[in-house]
């Protein structure tokens, strides 16, 4: 692995790549605290909902936990050196709330903050621009015991924690994202129960969604007071790129419902439009929105942000329930068990993560799938970015995109992963298409820097461009990492 140096970079500029990205484009990789840090009981950290959930039998594959993960807490200096060797210009990571504010209330634990100060300083020393996510799913267990996200108070707790983080790190972190994929927190955590805390109550899921939104808005407000004027704040949403199976009205209606509870439940209030009337109508029998949303909440959630992060993995194809077998032609996955098929890519549960749209059927977009069973279709990424540019008109970032494959360590200890390189190439090319079509996309953070704890799938699914031997914690860049380094060095794709 060679270091990127300014000399080679200027030579590269002479022979521009076929698909060049704008200068200053952030070439990044992403991780999340619980997935990599380990050290779950060190320096004052207390359990998060993911510690509790992963220790509950049957919730995570193989009974895996994040207790050790990839030991990043102790190896972060080595990991940052690796990032520098790869040529990354930016790194997106998340702060562990229970490491910083163990019970979710009261004063900060300085040792927890010191870890992030040291991480950020090491990144800056290596010329890597830090992007800090405040919440990547690890709610302090004490707050869950007090009701979790379905309870309004949690939004206020989150804003207090955001202020602690901004005070401690605001002088050196130029870009913040509040929440990572709040859809997953609300609907997988409290709806289908495949994620922590594993509750399965549709009303709680919708309440959680509102309080996550409110927490985001309150956090933006609190951080604006504390951060330097140059600091940018955003949020990372897994907006679903929803495609109706056909143009039949009932399939368009299915797509509308999924867009409402998948996407517009966030972007409505965040971009000043409030909660969409159709979402409220779809879910009126589940939750009392008048009671849930108090006067002023939507204005709070709609506080301006500087950048919108998109996490994109695959498109979402939906239809109305299909009764007759002939209706399911070409879509073996549809409805053969009587209930809606679950090819939404969000795990298996008897409980739907789609309140108000429980009967919508999900279809595999194509058979070209990753090890997660997620279809590979990069056109959804350009379509999403172009749509977001059109609808919201603010700078965008791809804050996650990547793929798991069954990696094999060769006899020479190397990992050759051409499928991952192909996936990344297709998706970076889709980003370039969106930029060419006018979308202001400022950066790309592939998921993930290194193999890690993949939530309910434990260590079975590997998303890294760097292989981790979980026995020895040895890191080995895969061939996709070497490819990415070359893309970064050239400033684009050939």
3-class SS at 6? helix
Minimum CB–partner distance for residue 13 and ligand FCB (Å)? 34
User: Choosing from 181, 259, 300, 419, which is the catalytic residue?
Assistant: 181
Region from 176-184, 251-259, 320-328, 412-420 binding ligand FCB, contact rule CB under 6 A = 176-184
Residue 98 DSSP class: H
Q: CA angle at residue 418 from 416 to 422, to 5 degrees? A: 155
Of 94 and 328, CB closest to ligand FCB: 94
For residues 409-438, which are near ligand FCB according to CB under 6 A? none
DSSP states along 298-339: HHHHT---SEEEEE-S--EEEE----SGGGGTT-TTSSTTSS
Binder among 100, 164, 454, 465 for ligand FCB (CB under 6 A) = 454
User: 């143009």: which residue's tokens?
Assistant: 247
One residue of 4, 46, 48, 180 binding ligand FCB per CB under 6 A: 180
What is the footprint of ligand FCB within residues 130-169 (CB under 6 A)? none
Shortest Cβ 61–ligand FCB spacing (Å): 13
Least distance from ligand FCB to the Cβ atom of residue 400, Å: 6
Q: Answer for the pair 98, 184: CB distance below 8 angstroms, yes or no.
A: no
Largest CA distance in the chain: 65
Residue 453 binds to ligand FCB (criterion: CB under 6 A): no
**Window 224-243: contact mask with ligand FCB (x via CB under 6 A):** --------------x-----
Q: Which residue lies nearer to ligand FCB by CB, 141 or 454?
A: 454
Subset of residues 11 to 50 that bind ligand FCB, contact rule: CB under 6 A: 32, 35
- Quick one: which of 25, 266, 455, 483 contacts ligand FCB (CB under 6 A)? 455
Give the chain's radius of gyration (CA, Å): 21
Q: Between 354 and 455, whose beta carbon lies closer to ligand FCB? A: 455
State yes or no: residue 181 binds ligand FCB (CB under 6 A). yes
Nearer to ligand FCB, 309 or 355 (CB): 309
Taking the least distance from each CB to ligand FCB, the nearer of 7 and 62 is 62
Map residue 92 onto helix, strand or coil: strand
Both tokens assigned to 269: 């209030």
Q: Which stretch binds ligand FCB (CB under 6 A): 108-116, 177-185, 388-396, 473-481?
A: 177-185
Whether 38 contacts 128, CB under 8 Å = no
Please give the backbone phi and psi of residue 190, each rounded to the nearest 5 degrees, phi first: -120, -10
Q: In this structure, what DSSP letter does residue 361 have? A: E
277 and 270 Cβ atoms separated by less than 8 Å: no
Among 400, 407, 419, 451, binds ligand FCB (CB under 6 A): 400
User: Counting contacts by CB under 6 A, is residue 447 touching ligand FCB?
Assistant: yes
Element (H, E) at 399: strand 396-400
Q: Which is nearer to ligand FCB, 318 or 449 (CB)?
A: 449
* Core vs surface per residue 464-489: b (16+ CB within 10 A) or e: bbbbbeeeebebbbbebbbbbbebbb
CB 435 within 8 A of CB 348: no
- Residue 234, CA distances (Å) to 110, 165, 216, 217 in order: 25, 15, 9, 10
Catalytic: 181?
A: yes
Is 326 one of the annotated active-site residues of the chain? no
Options 66-74, 178-186, 220-228, 414-422: segment touching ligand FCB (CB under 6 A)? 178-186
DSSP 70: T
For ligand FCB (CB under 6 A), the number of binding residues is 12
Three-state SS string across 157-196, please? HHHHHHHHHHHHHCCCCCEEEEEECHHHHHHHHHHHCCCC
- Smallest gap from Cβ 20 to ligand FCB, in A, equals 28
Contacts of 439 (CB under 8 A, 6+ apart): 385, 386, 388, 389, 396
- Specify the residue, 99 or 256, whose C-beta has the smaller distance to ligand FCB: 99
Write out the binding residues for ligand FCB, residues 56-115 only, by CB under 6 A: none
Least separation in angstroms between CB 175 and ligand FCB: 17
Binding part of the chain for ligand FCB, among 71-79, 119-127, 179-187, 213-221 by CB under 6 A, reads: 179-187
Name the one residue in this structure whose structure tokens are 């200890």. Answer: 413
Options 144, 300, 383, 400, the catalytic residue: 400
Q: Closest by alpha carbon to 22, among 400, 434, 311?
A: 434
Q: How far is the CB of 396 from ligand FCB (least distance, A)?
A: 17
Nearer to ligand FCB, 26 or 184 (CB): 184
**Which residues contribute to the site for ligand FCB (CB under 6 A)?**
32, 35, 180-181, 184, 238, 311, 400, 447, 454-455, 463
Q: Active-site residues: which are they? A: 181, 400
């Amino acid at each position: 692995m060679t270091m990127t140096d300014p000399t080679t970079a200027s030579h590269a500029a002479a022979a521009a790549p076929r698909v060049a990205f704008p200068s200053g484009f952030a070439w990044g990789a992403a991780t999340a605290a619980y997935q990599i840090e380990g050290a779950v009981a060190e320096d004052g950290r207390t359990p998060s909902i993911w510690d509790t959930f992963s220790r509950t039998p049957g919730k995570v594959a193989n009974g895996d936990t994040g207790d050790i993960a990839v030991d990043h807490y102790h190896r972060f200096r080595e990991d940052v050196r690796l990032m520098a060797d790869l040529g990354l210009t930016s790194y997106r990571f998340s702060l562990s709330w229970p490491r910083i504010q163990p019970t979710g209330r009261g004063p900060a634990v300085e040792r927890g903050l010191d870890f992030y100060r040291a991480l950020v300083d090491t990144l800056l020393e290596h010329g890597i621009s830090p992007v800090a996510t405040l919440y990547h799913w690890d709610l302090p267990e004490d707050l869950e015991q007090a009701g979790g996200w379905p309870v309004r108070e949690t939004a206020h707790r989150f804003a207090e924690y955001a202020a602690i983080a901004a005070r401690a790190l605001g002088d050196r972190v130029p870009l913040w994202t509040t929440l990572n994929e709040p859809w997953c927190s609300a609907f997988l955590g409290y709806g289908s129960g495949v994620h922590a805390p594993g509750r399965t109550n549709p009303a709680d899921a919708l309440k959680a969604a509102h309080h996550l939104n409110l927490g985001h808005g309150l956090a933006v407000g609190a951080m604006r007071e504390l951060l330097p004027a140059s600091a940018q704040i955003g949020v990372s949403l897994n907006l679903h790129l929803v495609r109706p199976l056909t143009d039949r009205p009932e399939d368009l209606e299915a797509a509308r419902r999924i867009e409402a509870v998948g996407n517009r439940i966030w972007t409505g209030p965040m971009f000043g439009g409030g909660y969409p009337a159709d979402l409220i109508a779809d879910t009126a029998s589940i939750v009392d929105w008048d009671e849930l949303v108090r006067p002023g909440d939507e204005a709070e959630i709609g506080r301006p942000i500087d950048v919108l992060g998109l996490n994109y993995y695959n498109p979402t194809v939906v239809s109305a329930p299909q009764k007759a077998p002939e209706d399911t032609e070409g879509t073996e996955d549809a409805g053969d068990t009587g209930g809606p098929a679950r090819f939404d890519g969000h795990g298996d549960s008897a409980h739907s993560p789609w309140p108000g749209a429980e009967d919508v059927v999900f279809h595999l977009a194509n058979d070209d799938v990753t090890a997660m069973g997620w279809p590979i279709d990069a056109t959804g990424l350009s379509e999403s970015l172009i749509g977001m540019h059109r609808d919201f008109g603010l700078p965008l970032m791809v804050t996650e995109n990547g793929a798991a494959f069954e990696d094999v360590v060769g006899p020479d200890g190397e990992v050759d992963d051409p499928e991952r390189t192909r996936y990344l190439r297709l998706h970076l090319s889709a980003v370039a298409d969106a930029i060419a079509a006018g979308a202001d996309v400022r950066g790309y953070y592939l998921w993930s820097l290194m193999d890690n704890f993949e939530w309910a799938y434990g260590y079975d699914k590997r998303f890294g461009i760097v292989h981790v031997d979980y026995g020895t914690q040895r890191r080995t860049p895969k061939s996709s990492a070497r490819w990415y380094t070359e893309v970064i060095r050239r400033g684009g794709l050939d």
